[in-house]
Structure 1
């Protein structure tokens, strides 16, 4: 049992989400449970309705009355919200208003805020200003027609849609991950501002972070979108890392990303990263929390395998509190991790620690250069320190952390 459990007086301190789930679903609980490890004081509780097949004639499985009765049961928990974790009204032909009706009936039955997966998806698209989308689904063609009509009714154009032709819900969760990767690639289109993956029994959420980095655009997966909405309905907006842009989105992180972008531009670096130790915002130094990349340079966001504080370079900046400037990583006196050079090809780097009052590095900025060794200029080092001051100010003004530069 994780340590935060012991920091509460009782389980009443947990914020609780209620999900109504199709009976034949397995993917959404597996994926949601994996995401929730980063939110140890939020719990998710499930109730099921009978769903076995997916076609435009399956409307009787998803009536508002059935869902509201199920909601009454899960509200006994008690939970802070009840959400229909299913996309039904977007492909049965019932339309957007059917989702509004479902949410209203759930709220009427439980006196709790409510939503549906499809309503949440529309909200996300509007929030992100998306007008043209691509669809990657496990569904048959007949549902794609209904989905296109649904999104058109809310002002969104489907520029391309591809599916796997599956009609039995049990089969959807078992699609191999590599086939899902291929599907998402096939769905992509130059005019699509994002890719939407509608189905809460399709475990594409596992791939969102990876495929966003590959395709360079947001991917909105139904399981993750539904969880995003449910968290906001109970007042939780803590960023969650490793699951794509939507769950990571946070005003402070956006500002930090902008600092990294500007620093990379000023130094002509290959990659700039910020590692930060602020547990209450799910930031830890073993995971990159802000990053900017030159074209063709791989991200470090997915890689959390190294114990950063055990690295010789990190121990050095932690001890000295001053920038480490390395024109040649291969022949450096203070050895960078081998993977940085052999896997990521970094031939020169700069590191700048931001110190906490406890005299240890609470955060550090890295500038990597891949093409060759490099003599970092005074202007490069000055840009690094200027970025450090901006990060310091952002962290302080936001109340995230109080750090200083030596």
Structure 2
């Protein structure tokens, strides 16, 4: 049994985690602990507060007691707004507090793109343009070129209620002919049941926040599982760097 822990901000698409656990079909246990938020907004100041050390530390003890072997901060906006250096400091502090390896959804996207050999990506964000641009900067600095960025400008709460057609529309709006993959970074989106349909519609890999967050936790524990229902990321052999 491999136990993985996730710090999840607020309540929106957390029901994707038991769905992913079921789709993995293995000896994997996913434990979600909710962190609080002062304001449910896609503004930089609100996102900086969302990922502050005190808010993350408050949920760590419960994950420690659950036996989690790795912890991931399940927020893209609450990590990339700190920049690459700040996001590194964020997960280092989380790892020290948790006593296990730690990461965040932002780094999960960077690592997943590298795993797929996707050197160029397009971003379909629910955020406003200025926040979406910060993710593009984060990825570019992490070694993945962003060729297109689409910010939908939705409220922080709205995406949790989006159906498949709305998620697909976001992905289509973001897609670019030069992109090797399309990224949908909001952990408030329900995507676990739609990954194969999204990839079929776009004819390329689609990386979504919940999907890469769980993959990142597995990566931290050196687990590799084949789960085609969770998209190309869960079927590819690792890229060998030479």
TM-score (structure 2 length as normaliser): 0.89
Tell me, what secondary structure is at the counterpart of 2:108? Answer: helix
Question: Residues 125-176 of structure 1, C-alpha deviation per residue, up to 9 Å, x if partnerless?
Answer: 2232322211112111221222222222223332212232112x22211012
What is the match of residue 231 of structure 1? 218
2:116 aligned residue (123, 128, 134): 128
Q: Is the 8 A contact 1:17 1:81 kept in 2?
A: yes
What is the match of residue 17 of structure 2? 32
The answer for unaligned runs of 5 or more in structure 1 is 1-13, 255-406
The answer for unaligned runs of 5 or more in structure 2 is none
Q: Is the 8 A contact 2:114 2:144 kept in 1?
A: no
CA distance in 2 between partners of 1:103 and 1:91 (Å): 11
Please tell me the root mean square deviation across aligned C-alpha atoms, in Å. Answer: 2.0
Q: Is the 8 A contact 2:120 2:147 kept in 1?
A: yes
1:109-258 equivalences in 2 (<5 Å): 109-167=97-155, 169-250=156-237
CA distance in 2 between partners of 1:134 and 1:205 (Å): 19
Q: Is the 8 A contact 1:239 1:250 kept in 2?
A: no
What is the match of residue 34 of structure 2? 48
1:344-359 equivalences in 2 (<5 Å): none
The number of equivalent residue pairs is 235
What is the CA-CA distance between 1:64 and the residue it aligns to?
2.4
2:3 aligned residue (1, 9, 16): 16
Who wins on radius of gyration, i.e. which is larger?
1
1:275-314 equivalences in 2 (<5 Å): none
Report the CA distance shift for 1:47/1:196 in structure 2 as closer, same or farther (over 3 A). same
What is the match of residue 58 of structure 2? 69
Q: Is the 8 A contact 1:90 1:146 kept in 2?
A: no
Structure 1 segments (4+ residues) deviating >3 Å: none
CA distance in 1 between partners of 2:50 and 2:198 (Å): 33
Q: Is the 8 A contact 1:21 1:48 kept in 2?
A: yes
TM-score (structure 1 length as normaliser): 0.54
Report the CA distance shift for 1:155/1:42 in structure 2 as closer, same or farther (over 3 A). closer
Q: Is the 8 A contact 2:181 2:207 kept in 1?
A: yes
CA distance in 2 between partners of 1:213 and 1:176 (Å): 17
CA distance in 1 between partners of 2:150 and 2:41 (Å): 19
Tell me, what secondary structure is at the counterpart of 1:54? Answer: coil
CA distance in 2 between partners of 1:242 and 1:24 (Å): 24
Tell me, what secondary structure is at the counterpart of 2:123? Answer: strand
Tell me, what secondary structure is at the counterpart of 1:204? Answer: coil
